[in-house]
Amino acid sequence: MAACTSQHALISVKPPRASASFGSDRRAGNVRFVSATSCCPGSRKLGLVCASNSQSSVIEPAKLPSSPESGSTPKKSSEAALILIRHGESLWNEKNLFTGCVDVPLTPKGVNEAIEAGKRICNIPVDVIYTSSLIRAQMTAMLAMMQHRRKKVPIIVHKESERAHQWSQVYSEETKKQSIPVITAWQLNERMYGELQGLNKQETADLFGKDQVHEWRRSYDIPPPNGESLEMCAERAVSYFKEQIIPQLVSGKHVMIAAHGNSLRSIIMHLDKLTSQEVISLELSTGIPMLYIFKEGKFIRRGSPAGPSEAGVYAYTKINT
């Protein structure tokens, strides 16, 4: 199929020169990335030539953090990839229990979903991984990266104590080059479901009424008993995204976030400027990656790298043009 150039193509891609030292095509589904080293050593451009059939859109950015010294916006690199992945199916997903911040692992199906997610992004560069403090998200991140063509080893960065940080240091520069840091953050955890955690969803609906449980689960600002609303979850997740992850993208690093339905919905709400009514209708399937490109202070949504047939699993309620 002839390559089609979207109106939001990131760079003009020309036939590679003989001098290009990194000019191979990298394909992810029907999304093709072309990398090329320019005349400046160490510089690299990431060009998206043909996006999936899901509508691409340019999202105006959140306000970028300012430099504490000058008060100016940090210098931005040309472009960077942002990959979002909801963890694979957990044991409590399988049992239809409210999970929230309870730390349960993946099912065999969830393991396979994470592996398949990794295959879909195996050609997209990843420099740093962010995940929640919960094992199901961490397992998803690790299993996904094991499928990557660069075969770099994901290593969890331990900063819970000074001793943990010191004892987990890597002292080989060559080994560091073959590794990807994995940063865990409780701010990316699933929404805390309070007194619903561990309860069967159907039995809870029978006990409290379907409408009440639906309100707890799907309203934006009404929390379950002693739990978090989506609004409360968004406050911590988006703040962390702005403070910790956007600076990485600004510096040109390619970032993957493996997290949860509600923390990722919160970030997508921020990126796509969804309203509180639109975000409650947003559904994210387990183990399906979503790709954004960060370029010149804007987020460009590219859908799923898997191709047009799978891109629709993201039930967006707002179409950006």
- What amino acid positions are annotated as catalytic residues? 87, 190
Which is it for strands 44-48 and 79-86: parallel, antiparallel or unpaired?
unpaired
Question: Could you say which DSSP state residue 55 is in?
Answer: P
CA distance 161 to 268: 32
Residues 79, 48: Cα–Cα separation, whole Å: 10
Question: Strand 289-295's sheet: what is its strand order?
Answer: 57-59, 298-303, 289-295, 79-86, 255-259, 128-131, 179-184, 153-156
SS (H, E, C) 61-89: CCCCCCCCCCCCCCCCCCEEEEEEEECCC
For residue 301, which phi and psi values (nearest 5 degrees)?
A: -80, 130
**Positions at the binding site:** 86-93, 99-100, 136, 190-193, 201, 217-218, 261-262
Q: Residue 294: which of 231, 258, 242, 233 has the closest Cα?
A: 242
Task: Give the whole-angstrom CA distance, residue 97 versus residue 296.
Answer: 42
Which residue matches tokens 């094992």?
Answer: 135
SS3 string, 165-181, reads HHHCCCCCHHHHHCEEE
Q: Enumerate the known binding-site residues for substrate.
A: 86-93, 99-100, 136, 190-193, 201, 217-218, 261-262
Give the three-class secondary structure for 212: helix
